[in-house]
Amino acid sequence: MKQLVVNFTKQLAEAIAIGNKQTFKTKKNNFHNIVLSGLGGSGIGGSITQNYIADSCSIPFIVNKDYFLPSFVNNKSLVIISSYSGNTEETLAAMQQAIKMKATIICITSGGKVEELAKKHNLDCVIIPSGMPPRSCLGYSMVQVLYALNHLGYVKKSFEKDLKAAIALLTKESKAIQKEAKTIAKKLINKMPIIYAAADFEGVAVRFRQQINENGKMLCWHHVIPEMNHNELVGWRKKDPNQAVVLLRNTTDYKRTQMRMEINKEVFKQYTKTIIEIHSKGKSYLERAFYLIHLTDFISVDLAELNKLDPTEVKVIDYLKGALAKAK
């Protein structure tokens, strides 16, 4: 797993090459909405994309992480099916519904039943490299979402320049990123991480939480600012040295949000001594997002090493899938 994290920039470069080679059959249309359906490592790229295009996409873009599509999906909807394995139970169910609803469908997968269905129904299907844990393939899947949206006119081509800048930034900062990750992991060991970020970086915060869950084998939670100032902040009432706050920060965060973060820190200090701030680098949203993702991915595998655990192992998920298969 750690080597897969190390190779993230190579993955991004390969994803760009895949995106440029892809020829889409789907034509530009007067779509009324876009729904990306995917879970876990296959769906998180959709969440980050949702944040990224929120202030520029001309139609609603939502992420679906369930068996069922929203009832508004119809022949004026674009549905992006994202399943790394191609066999994700919930995503396959959503795909079958999208077909019945006569939505326009674009698939992103490494194969499996999603590829089979795409061929059967003559759908666009972007094939990405197989054989890796889905959570280690965010670069492959998310980049293909961006290329699909660019083809249809919902994302400007400048995203590609920002991706290449992100690769250059992460390559340049590689040693510093890994050093900072090790320092932070040591502060988080045997603690409950509580992750906070600005609302438009929630996808990145969720990614960090999920990586701590799967790679670090630890529970944690996240929330966003300003929303948590209207509820969760009141829950800070008891001193607990085992809680560790992690703030994901950007110099571009809205000034009132940054002000809230500073005030929140004063509240947190009354109840825990461990308050960690991770500052992004980069000029564009994608640079900053991928910087934070790369750094926090390293934190998650470093936590596994400190806990003397295999970051790749997900036996409990395998057990769940096996039990569900028997119950069919």
Spatial neighbors of 128 by CB under 8 A, at least 6 apart, are 15, 18, 84, 108, 109, 110, 137, 140, 141, 144
Spatial neighbors of 322 by CB under 8 A, at least 6 apart, are none
Please give the average pLDDT of every successive group of 10 residues along the chain, which has 328 residues. 94 97 93 97 96 96 97 97 96 98 97 97 96 92 97 95 98 98 97 98 98 96 98 96 97 98 98 97 98 98 95 88 84
Looking at residue 325, its pLDDT comes to 85
The span from the CA of 248 to the CA of 279, in Å, is 6
Radius of gyration for the chain, computed over Cα atoms and rounded to the nearest angstrom = 20
Spatial neighbors of 252 by CB under 8 A, at least 6 apart, are 285, 288
2-7 — which CB contacts under 8 Å span 24+ positions?
2/298, 2/301, 2/305, 2/311, 4/132, 4/133, 4/136, 5/136, 5/294, 5/297, 5/298, 5/301
The span from the CA of 268 to the CA of 201, in Å, is 21
∠ CA 46-48-51, nearest 5°, is 110
Question: Which helix H or strand E contains 26, and what residues bound it?
Answer: none
Looking at residue 88, its pLDDT comes to 96
Give catalytic residues, as residue numbers: 214, 230, 321
CATH 3.40.50.10490 domain position(s) in the chain: 2-156, 174-306
Taking a C-beta distance cutoff of 8 angstroms, is the pair 80, 24 a contact? Answer: no
The span from the CA of 110 to the CA of 87, in Å, is 10
Both tokens of 174, joined, read 């590689």
Looking at residue 315, its pLDDT comes to 87
Q: Which of 30, 47, 28 is nearest to 39 (CA)?
A: 47
DSSP letter for each residue of 103-166: -EEEEEESSHHHHHHHHHTT-EEEE---SS-GGGGHHHHHHHHHHHHHHTTSS-THHHHHHHHH
Taking a C-beta distance cutoff of 8 angstroms, is the pair 23, 127 a contact? Answer: no
Looking at residue 326, its pLDDT comes to 87
DSSP letter for each residue of 49-87: HHHHHTTT-SS-EEEE-SSS--TT-STTEEEEEEESSS-
Looking at residue 48, its pLDDT comes to 97
Domain 174-306, what fold? Answer: Rossmann fold (3.40.50)
CATH superfamily of 2-156: Glucose-6-phosphate isomerase like protein; domain 1 (3.40.50.10490)
* SS3 of 212-278: HHHCCCCCCEEEEECHHHHCHHHHCCCCCCCEEEEEEECCCCCHHHHHHHHHHHHHHCCCCCEEEEE
